[in-house]
Structure 1
Amino acid sequence: MGSKRVKRRSLLLAVFAAALLAAGPAPADADGGYEGAEDHYAGSQIAKVEGVDAAPGVLYAPDDQQLGHDVSGHQGPVDWPGAARSGAKFVYIKATEGTGFTNPQFAQQYNGSYNVGLIRGAYHFARPDISGGAAQARYFLAHGGGWSADGKTLPGALDAEYNPYGETCYGKDAAGMVAWIRDFSDTYRAATGRFPTIYTSTSWWKRCTANNGGFGGNPLWIARYNTAIGELPAGWDFHTIWQFADHGTLPGDQNLFNGAADRLRALALG
């Protein structure tokens, strides 16, 4: 009897091991793949890789542009009345990363900005190394990334930038990255009726998508820490938002919306 039990147990262990091999390695989020995620925000890796070229701490918006900013859990609770007094008209707030991280400050930041009259939207820090674009769009939508036609909510944004965990392009070639971004965009649009905004830098876009020109329908949120934007990625004739500095008069990164107040409201309304 003892030898039969040992044989049966050995057989079960072998079957279990074979199943594990067939399943492949565990996804990154299953074994701690979000270390430091609270400090990954729009531009955090761009500033590290591309540097900050004479980024102005203060850049006053001309009459035909609107001053705004973006924040994440990195900033902690935000003084929203203070931000409004300092001239903020809009804000993007990090909601999620991959399929396993949510911003612990999201409710304070998202609801607080709305309550003081800012037009606000949520963004998702892309992790193409963890799961597909469609899966991450659904996770984003389920954790604050939705959109409503209330005139106060911007379309959700996809933060596509350098990988803080490893290889620059998350282990994908250009075709794979384009397909991943397309899946995210298509899934988000099917759920909301809106193209998600794409946040990126021209250098990252060239390197990781081979400067793909197929996303001109998505609003462009371009990162360039300088007094001029410079070259845009292929497919876009103009930018919608420019992240021009990583610090300034508003909490978090500093942004300008490329248009007058009525155009900002139009973007929110869709």
Structure 2
Amino acid sequence: MTTNNQPQGIDVSHYQGAVDWKKVKAAGIAFAYAKATDGNTYTDPQFHTNWQGIQAAGILRGAYHFYETNDDPVSQANNFINAVGSLAANDLAPVVDIEIFKGNYGSNSVAANLQIWLDTVEKALGRTPMIYTGPSFWNQTINTDFSKYPLWVAEYGVAAPKIPFGWSTYNFWQYSQSGSVDGVTGSVDLDVFLGTL
């Protein structure tokens, strides 16, 4: 499983409600990702509160977008860009969370549309985005080499995650969706960074 000397993190959305980020920091959490947007128009109602709270507590912060495969990738990218605004120098890479197939937008493949999202966000925010996905979803639905992007892999109950097609390793691993961290009500996703602060 994870080792304690690797930086530990969590990721949150409105499902976690109000988070006490000072307590989260005191619990040893080094980084946190907050859900910013979903699809073409949705902004997470807790995003701006979390975004400011994470930074104020001295935790490294990142923002993620939940990608809808049947929505316009440019509209989705702009939704995310508008919510985040701009990134500070020490903010983590922006993330696209792609894990569910709901049909395809337009005549492009899912992979081609995903590339449009990545290009649009990178151009606007000046940072290479990271891809969050699960190995079985990725291999069944996309199965294209996106290894020039960092990988955040989700897999639970295993000693080490399977690596989706195209990558040789991961950067972040979401290893639990039912974690407990002081400052967060209820369960929360637990993550680890393969590296050092």
Q: Same fold (TM over 0.5)?
A: yes
1:72 to partner: Cα distance: 0.1
Residue of structure 1 equivalent to 2:75: 135
Amino acid at match of 1:212: T
**1:161 and 2:99 matched:** yes
Q: 1:180 and 1:228 mapped to 2: Cα distance? A: 33
**1:82 and 2:23 matched:** yes
**1:92 and 2:33 matched:** yes
Residue of structure 2 equivalent to 1:257: 193
* Percentage identity across paired residues of the two chains: 35
Aligned match for 1:172, one of 104, 115, 139: 104
Give unpaired runs (5+ residues) of structure 2.
Answer: none
Q: 1:60 and 1:226 mapped to 2: Cα distance? A: 11
Q: Please tell me whether the aligned partners of residues 78 and 108 of structure 1 are also in contact (alpha carbons under 8 angstroms).
A: no
Amino acid at match of 2:192: L
Residue of structure 1 equivalent to 2:134: 201
Amino acid at match of 1:221: W
Q: 1:115 and 1:138 mapped to 2: Cα distance? A: 26
**1:235 and 2:175 matched:** no
Deviations 1:85-119 (A, max 9, x none): 11100001001011111111112211111111000
Equivalent residues in 2 for 1:90-129, closer than 5 Å: 90-129=31-70
TM-score, structure 1 as length reference: 0.67
Q: 1:198 and 1:138 mapped to 2: Cα distance? A: 17
1:236 to partner: Cα distance: 1.1
TM-score, structure 2 as length reference: 0.90
Q: 2:71 and 2:27 mapped to 1: Cα distance? A: 38
Count of equivalent residues: 191
Q: 1:146 and 1:66 mapped to 2: Cα distance? A: 24
Deviations 1:17-69 (A, max 9, x none): xxxxxxxxxxxxxxxxxxxxxxxxxxxxxxxxxxxxxxxxxx76432x11000
Amino acid at match of 1:124: H
Give unpaired runs (5+ residues) of structure 1.
Answer: 1-58, 163-168, 262-270
Which is higher, the Rg of structure 1 or of structure 2? 1
Deviations 1:214-270 (A, max 9, x none): x11111000001232332112211101000001223242000011011xxxxxxxxx
Residue of structure 2 equivalent to 1:248: 179
Residue of structure 2 equivalent to 1:191: 124
Amino acid at match of 2:196: A
